[in-house]
Chain A
């Protein structure tokens, strides 16, 4: 996501440059709120759009293509680091407490400073919903330290056992200090059997020894436990105990360099997972991050992202002005607002917004150079609530027949069905429909026949795409035509699909399922 802060080359002091999100402190911010600027802008823009000189029928003139691409790239880059909700918009009245992330960053910063500069032992939990910026706050806090500590990153998803974690700690520490710990951990003797069970893992008895070494390293140590809650699931929480214990008992002394244990998690009740003895070692400090609380923040973020300044050379003043106006118009649009509002109401997940904006930006092209609410709508549909059964978009004739048959089965009280049942229904339907006296151009207008095998192939396809799923438990040795299945598609969905693609016969047959 962001350049590894370990390498000094990348280590720069100011946050503003360090990740090119819009600057953080309110003073330096420039992002006019739509409400205030809109009238004049709208006027200006209207004249802009209907002036053929600049923009004929919304098609972008040649010279701006480069700019457009540059803009797109800039935004995409920005979207990888959507701005944190660190600061209120200007019109926030002062009795409102500062945003959560601001606070979290502040506290974490202090805490780390304590460890790094004064060699304290610290521990804290950083709790917050997904993509509310936990990881990035940690990163920013770290990178703002006067001295680069030894950073050890563990993830509950990867270090699924304490012994794995131990080896990883040893490795990372070794990588950053140059001296190796747990000498036995890195050796891996070639073994004949390929059953990957033989990990050269340190015995768990070494755990306390290893952990207690940490504070004595040359530089202070920061241990970051991602998915902290998963570590709490390890037997006896030995690792957590040792870490927190060391952190707690780490007294400020000349030979001690301080250690900070930072747990990162989305689980609000994580603290309750800790066993008593572990909990007692934990400082109890819990910092919370949050997603944007107000729609205005949401909008502001959208704007901030969309109006990312183009960094490189081909930034033309004219273009950026044009783009500004387009974005303003886009955001001012009521449809846009309501769409964003819907999303906000549904999830405050910044990542979702980011994905939506990505697909909007990607859709921009010289012919459609500026974001519109139509683009936003499709993007929202596709990223926020993707279709549950994508295969319904295009169904072959046999698949449609199977679906209809399944609907018939359902209406006649059989939610689960075998292939044989569907096949028989289909066969009879074909027979009856072709028996019908109706003649069209001399030929009877019966339903198309379809051989058993072809229908079976369609059935297998439906299973593959989870249109049909096994219902209950099928005995292992049951033949495939007798397996019991349920249809995942609801009647309405099938109806839509049939309306769109089905022939008259299929529709007629479907309509009979009442």
Chain B
């Protein structure tokens, strides 16, 4: 049971699950169980695998435990599923030198061609395991763990849930999924109801425990501060707890998955230590001259945490969505924020954004410089809130900008583009009022410009194919571009925010 204890301590939020499962599997388990885990599936699957190993070690002269665990995503064809399950149960790993041959009790027996031959396979594995312990009394218990069961091939699901009954063997099927059984069960009640198990959502205590167990390596290998080597392991260790709790207090609200928090803490830890070194060196000269071990005063500890705390939030915004990724020497996102485009491309982008968001009928109003100067009033876009409900209970119209771009014919965009360029492009001269439109039409029809449209589609800033396109760039980005060429986007958009 020692293993069990360590196991459940290293997976705190799975503790109860582990205990229950162990009790069940070592007694006579139901033939089909379902584990719902909406919170941290990776940890759970690790925990389960470790548990199965632990149980396998408990097999003795009376009972032999064999288990197979497979991810439903990885088993994208029945054949892969069959092969990997049988090989795992028989503890057989195919090697290249014998031609990646699968396990089979008698040479040439094939189990992976269809469901019923797979069932024979299970029976054979069962007998094989029993025969291995040349002892008729020995009882074989097989466990089949299927992760991300929601992705199982539908034609296999029913059979797997009834596997014990179909194979007449003591086999337990365990599904794990982020969804409850009722969301993934096959229709017509073809599958029996499972014994339901749940993973407790991670709470602060368990998460902190996760974090501290994960943070094992104290000194980053590639640190350029020599002073760190002079700080004792213990005192660095002493920083760990406050560091972790600080991290959790900031990021815990936004991220509940312990894995992600671990990722953050691991990524920030070197930066944290560097900060420490920086403070130590710039802060106290005394750190400098005195030789040998130096320990960290509480005052320094406080300064450190204070100085570092803003970093947590920055890191969260960059690392959690993986805008940048570890090792992030600088925590700022590695993605350059600006688009670099030629002038024409910028205009096209603006024009197509307008074409994608403005209603067609509004083009005249929005684009032509009104002879009586100044555009007419735009429709004020309603940010929908419950308070402002349209009259007679009808729903308020949601601005297109929030519903996504609509497709537009090229010619419409060209027309908009022409107007934009006439109004904003000084370098090209469009002559006087009379010839302007003609000139604009020529400019808009230039090969270079048409080429630019293609470039934009290749760059996935426009989507679609001739002659209808969609703008694939968001409001913010377009706004920026518009600033570059001096177009005031706000005036042009029908429903500006």
Interface residues of A (CB under 8 A from B): 1, 4, 6, 9, 72-73, 76-77, 80, 130-131, 135, 153, 155, 157-160, 164, 167-168, 171, 188, 194, 196, 198-200, 227, 266, 349, 351-352, 354-355, 358-359, 362, 382-383, 386-391, 393-398, 408-409, 411-414, 418, 420-421, 424-425, 428, 448, 450-451, 453-454, 456-457, 464-466, 477-479, 481-482, 512-514
B179 touches A413 (CB 8 A): no
B198 touches A164 (CB 8 A): no
The CA of A395 and the CA of B257, in the complex, are separated in Å by 10
Q: Which of B23, B155, B402, B472 contacts A418 (CB 8 A)?
A: B402
List chain B residues, Cβ under 8 A from A389: 180
Q: Given the known inter-chain contacts A157-B158, A396-B254, please indicate yes or no for A425 contacting B384, CB distance below 8 A.
A: yes
The CA of A157 and the CA of B182, in the complex, are separated in Å by 20
Distance of A486 from chain B, by nearest CB (Å): 14
Check B320 for interface membership: any CB of A closer than 8 A.
yes
A456 touches B79 (CB 8 A): no
Check B218 for interface membership: any CB of A closer than 8 A.
no
List chain B residues, Cβ under 8 A from A479: 404, 472
Interface residues of B (CB under 8 A from A): 20, 23-24, 27-28, 30-31, 36, 38-39, 77-79, 108, 110, 112-116, 119-120, 136, 155, 158-159, 162, 164-166, 168-169, 178-183, 189-190, 192-193, 195-196, 198, 201-203, 253-256, 316-317, 320-321, 323, 383-390, 393-396, 398, 401-405, 463, 472, 474, 497
A76 touches B24 (CB 8 A): yes
The CA of A506 and the CA of B251, in the complex, are separated in Å by 17
Q: Which of A77, A196, A414 contacts B398 (CB 8 A)?
A: A414
Q: Which residue of A lies closest to B383 (CB)?
A: A428
Distance of B104 from chain A, by nearest CB (Å): 11
Best-buried of B155, B159, B201, B254 by chain A (most CB within 10 Å): B254
List chain B residues, Cβ under 8 A from A387: 180
Q: Which residue of B lies closest to A419 (CB)?
A: B402
A386 touches B182 (CB 8 A): yes
Q: Which residue of B lies closest to A156 (CB)?
A: B190
List chain A residues, Cβ under 8 A from B169: 4
Q: Which of B119, B192, B254, B401 contacts A130 (CB 8 A)?
A: B192
List chain A residues, Cβ under 8 A from B79: 194, 196
B402 touches A355 (CB 8 A): no
Q: Given the known inter-chain contacts A394-B39, A424-B402, please indicate yes or no for A454 contacting B384, CB distance below 8 A.
A: no
B27 touches A77 (CB 8 A): yes
A453 touches B115 (CB 8 A): no
List chain B residues, Cβ under 8 A from A135: 165
Q: Which residue of B lies closest to A414 (CB)?
A: B395
B321 touches A76 (CB 8 A): no
Q: Which residue of B lies closest to A161 (CB)?
A: B114
Q: Which of A73, A352, A359, A464 contacts B27 (CB 8 A)?
A: A73
Distance of A476 from chain B, by nearest CB (Å): 11
A76 touches B395 (CB 8 A): no
The CA of A395 and the CA of B168, in the complex, are separated in Å by 43
Best-buried of B180, B183, B402, B497 by chain A (most CB within 10 Å): B402
Q: A73-B28, A171-B120 are in contact. List 18 more A-B contacts (CB 8 A).
A: A1-B31, A1-B164, A9-B136, A158-B159, A171-B116, A383-B195, A386-B36, A386-B181, A387-B180, A396-B253, A397-B254, A412-B384, A412-B389, A412-B395, A412-B396, A424-B497, A465-B179, A466-B179
Q: Which residue of B lies closest to A429 (CB)?
A: B385
Per DSSP, are chain B's interface residues mostly helix, strand or loop, or mixed? loop
Distance of B330 from chain A, by nearest CB (Å): 17
List chain A residues, Cβ under 8 A from B472: 479
Best-buried of A80, A157, A354 by chain B (most CB within 10 Å): A157
List chain A residues, Cβ under 8 A from B394: 413
B386 touches A513 (CB 8 A): yes
A454 touches B317 (CB 8 A): yes
B112 touches A454 (CB 8 A): no
List chain B residues, Cβ under 8 A from A411: 386, 389
List chain A residues, Cβ under 8 A from B28: 73, 76-77, 80
26 contacts between A and B (CB under 8 A): A131-B192, A155-B166, A158-B115, A158-B166, A159-B116, A199-B114, A352-B193, A383-B195, A386-B196, A390-B36, A391-B39, A394-B202, A394-B203, A394-B256, A395-B256, A396-B254, A396-B255, A398-B254, A412-B384, A414-B395, A420-B402, A453-B323, A454-B320, A457-B320, A464-B178, A482-B403
List chain A residues, Cβ under 8 A from B193: 349, 351-352, 355
Distance of B86 from chain A, by nearest CB (Å): 15
The CA of A263 and the CA of B146, in the complex, are separated in Å by 31
The CA of A349 and the CA of B27, in the complex, are separated in Å by 23
Q: Which residue of B lies closest to A453 (CB)?
A: B321
Closest A-B pairs by Cβ, 10 of them: A413-B395, A482-B404, A394-B201, A453-B321, A391-B38, A411-B386, A397-B253, A420-B402, A451-B317, A76-B27
The CA of A271 and the CA of B198, in the complex, are separated in Å by 41
B136 touches A413 (CB 8 A): no
The CA of A420 and the CA of B405, in the complex, are separated in Å by 12
B198 touches A390 (CB 8 A): yes
The CA of A393 and the CA of B119, in the complex, are separated in Å by 39
List chain B residues, Cβ under 8 A from A390: 36, 38, 180, 198
Distance of B324 from chain A, by nearest CB (Å): 11
